[in-house]
A and B are shown apart, each in its own frame.
Chain A
Amino acid sequence: MTPSPGRPTEAMPQFEMHATGVEGATEGTERMEVSMGPHHPSTHGVFRMDVELEGETITKLKPVFGYLHRNHEKIAESTSYLGSMPYTDRLDYFNSMTNNWAYALSVEKLAGIEVPERAEYIRVITAELTRLQNHVSLIGFLVQDMGALGTPLMYAFRERERILDLFESLSGARMMCNYMRFGGCRCDVSADWIKQAQSVVEAFPQFLDEFEALISENEVLMARSQHVGILKPELAIDAGVAGPVLRATGVNYDLRKVDGYGIYDRFQFRVPLGDHGDVYDRYMIRVLEMRESVKILQQALAEIPNGDYVNPKAKLRGFRPPPGEAYGRIEAPKGELGFYLISDGSPKPYRYRVRPPSLINLTILEDMCLGQTIADAVIILGSIDIVLGEVDR
């Protein structure tokens, strides 16, 4: 039976209260169970870690989540296919565009809807912009966990705001975009918008240089993050980890290259890989990925063709896909985001399942934290990049 949090287990020595205090203090370390969270600023939401400590060293860690459970999958099974599109925004609320895309992709697979070329380009552009703003704010939060309070995060947010402005002028909302539709997108991008996006993208590498000058060579960051939270590639593959966390261990696995979904095979870009699989590598991978995203964006914005932004045959109301099942997956900023759908021919999905990258990347948290100090656990959690909206659903 698991002990209730905060209480010493039977195996643990029971503490005795000594009136003298000083005499009772033992040499060396004592075992202690700490419940971090759920309302702790370093846990990136309502997330709790039950940590067993030997002094400051972690001997056991149990992630506890579910505080933000909203019954997303079951609600989707009682709503029409279109009706759960706005709910997908709220999974990983940093990246609503990629969530929309992953869901639209699986429904398109299920119903066999083709997507016009222009819509594919719009999707790539919005997804890569999403990746930029996710990574930039993640790095801001990560260095904030290490003690750089405010400054890098505010620089990151300043840049993120420009991208969110683009999303707002395109879809109407900064974060809850609800922009993709089955067979395309909800509305067309204007030539003006493309120009604005181009100027944001052109200015981005300069910001990245600035940001790297700010922290990449910072000795404190290096001392805190190098050789901390090392993840072995074998374990990462076994645990099904995906995204930047996996690539930081040196495994070359990017769905944009492997699956080639959408039109990613048309663009020239490289997949950055890490060497050590530590927190610093995970930080660096994201910086490098942003640079590659900028390359994709430049190509996509220059090449975007004219045409339909949505398949004219795709129906908005009364959508009934044929019976069958489909799994659509994309390389979301946090990893492989997949939607598994089973249709029985009715307007509602028979089964709707999300493969959330945050949750699956979180399963190896204990393996990375064992033997590290409790202060390191905070930045290891930060480097995984979780959003509790997606972990708990």
Chain B
Amino acid sequence: MIGKGILKGMVETARNLTGSFHDPDRLTTVEYPEQKIPAKENARNFPFLIYDGDDWETGLRCVSCQICEKECPPQCIYIEKDKEKKPDFLGKMQMQPKIFDIDVSVCMGCQICVEVCPFESIRMDNDFEYAGSDRFKSLLLTKDQLAKSNKYYHSIHPTEAQETDEIRVQKREDHLAKEKAKAEKLAKAKKEAASKAALSKAETAKEE
């Protein structure tokens, strides 16, 4: 019978129409600006710079090694090194960026900068509401706009932030152990030198 297939299809559409009243799973859309679907934990959009503590300028993790600048496929990062150094979380003196710009009109959110960063300082944000009225200035993010606290990082990517913190704790421990070993070695060498000197002194005294 011609029309049977069409009827069958119509029954299906009717089922879908009424289904959305009973089954909330079938209602798939929300009214966006008022309602928002919470972002997925891994969701990424554009990179930002993490700082520790409360002051973004002193706590900025970036040491301006410029690896992300080199690896960025669309070349949207621009870094200039500062002449003044500042201590990092291990107490070592490190470089810091004087200028750190990301042109988010060029950035494609590929996350390669995050993967190559050896200092856990650049991570992905999940904020996607970036509309601006200015064509160039509002999309060229500077250092102060990019800097966001570690707390904020914990609030958007909790699991990843936890892992990053663990890496840093490990790094600190390794550094402390290294320092300790170094200090011990130094002390031992000093001691040996002292005992050797004492021995030679004693020997010379004996000879005399």
Contacts and interface: CB of A to CB of B under 8 A. Distances in A.
A282 to B, nearest CB: 19
A386 B114 CA distance: 33
A346 interface: no
Contact of A169 (B9, B13, B42): B42
B109 A218 contact: no
A182 interface: no
Interface string B1-36: 011111011011100100000000000100000000
A166 B172 CA distance: 36
Contact of B73 (A79, A218, A219, A222): A79
A86 B71 CA distance: 12
A86 B110 contact: yes
Interface residues of B, number: 28
Contact of B12 (A79, A214, A316): A214
Contact of B28 (A161, A187, A217): A161
Given A84-B73, A214-B12, A215-B9, A168 B28 contact: no
B44 A173 contact: yes
Interface in B89-116: 108-112, 115-116
A220 interface: yes
B71 A222 contact: no
Chain A contact patch, size range:
35 or more
A42 B103 CA distance: 35
Interface string A16-59: 00000000000000000000000000000000000000000000
Contacts of A176: 108-110
A291 interface: no
Interface in A131-164: 151, 155, 158, 161
Nearest to B8: A213
B43 interface: yes
A218 B6 contact: yes
Contacts of A266: none
Interface string A153-192: 0010010010001001111110010100000001100000
Contact of B13 (A151, A187, A221, A317): A151
Contacts of A171: 42
Contacts of B109: 173, 176
Q: Is the interface of A mostly helix, strand, loop or mixed?
A: helix
B4 A217 contact: yes
B202 to A, nearest CB: 55
A82 interface: yes
B83 interface: no
Nearest to A317: B116
A80 interface: yes
Contact of A172 (B11, B108, B116, B124): B124
A87 interface: yes
B144 interface: no
B6 A169 contact: no
Given A82-B71, A86-B110, A89-B110, 16 more contacts: A83-B73, A161-B28, A168-B42, A169-B41, A169-B43, A172-B124, A173-B44, A176-B109, A178-B110, A186-B115, A213-B11, A214-B12, A217-B5, A219-B2, A219-B5, A317-B71
Interface of B: 2-6, 8-9, 11-13, 16, 28, 40-44, 67, 71, 73, 108-112, 115-116, 124
24 contacts: A82-B71, A85-B110, A86-B73, A165-B40, A169-B40, A169-B41, A169-B43, A172-B42, A172-B111, A172-B124, A173-B44, A176-B110, A178-B111, A187-B42, A213-B12, A214-B13, A216-B5, A217-B8, A217-B9, A218-B6, A218-B9, A219-B6, A220-B6, A317-B71
Pick the 10 closest A-B CB pairs, nearest first. A217-B5, A86-B110, A172-B44, A83-B73, A169-B40, A172-B42, A214-B12, A218-B5, A214-B9, A168-B40
